[in-house]
Amino acid sequence: MAVESEHLRLLFCILNPIAKAPSADTLRSNVIDKFNEERNNIQEILQNAPGQLSFMLDAWTSPSYIPFLGITIIAYTTDNASNNDTLRKNL
């Protein structure tokens, strides 16, 4: 939780002296770093995925007008000869 108010920081300190609330700048930096880390992980997984990838997108808006975007990625591999017949039947 980003806390800029000194009064709120003092309250947190009273409630739990070892608790440390990061500043908004620290929180922003941490979120961006984590986003970049996860984006790189996903990129590596997708680049190393054998076979073909299918992307499915679903966008909608909640009753309170909050937009959402869902992304699903499915990977098909055909390098397992014993399962090729099963794969063809299911496609």
Query: pLDDT tens, 20-73?
Result: 777 888 889 999 999 999 999 999 988 888 778 889 999 999 999 999 999 999
Give residue 89's pLDDT band: very low, low, confident or very high (50, 70, 90): confident
Kindly state the DSSP code that residue 76 receives in the 8-state scheme. E
What pLDDT does 78 receive? 62
CB 60: neighbour CB atoms within 10 A? 9
What pLDDT does 34 receive? 98
Go through 31-54 and write b for each residue having 16 or more CB atoms within 10 A of its CB, e for each that does not: eeeeeeeeeeeeeeeeeeeeeeee
Single-letter amino acid, residue 32: I
Rg, the chain, Cα only:
23
Does pTM surpass 0.85?
Answer: no
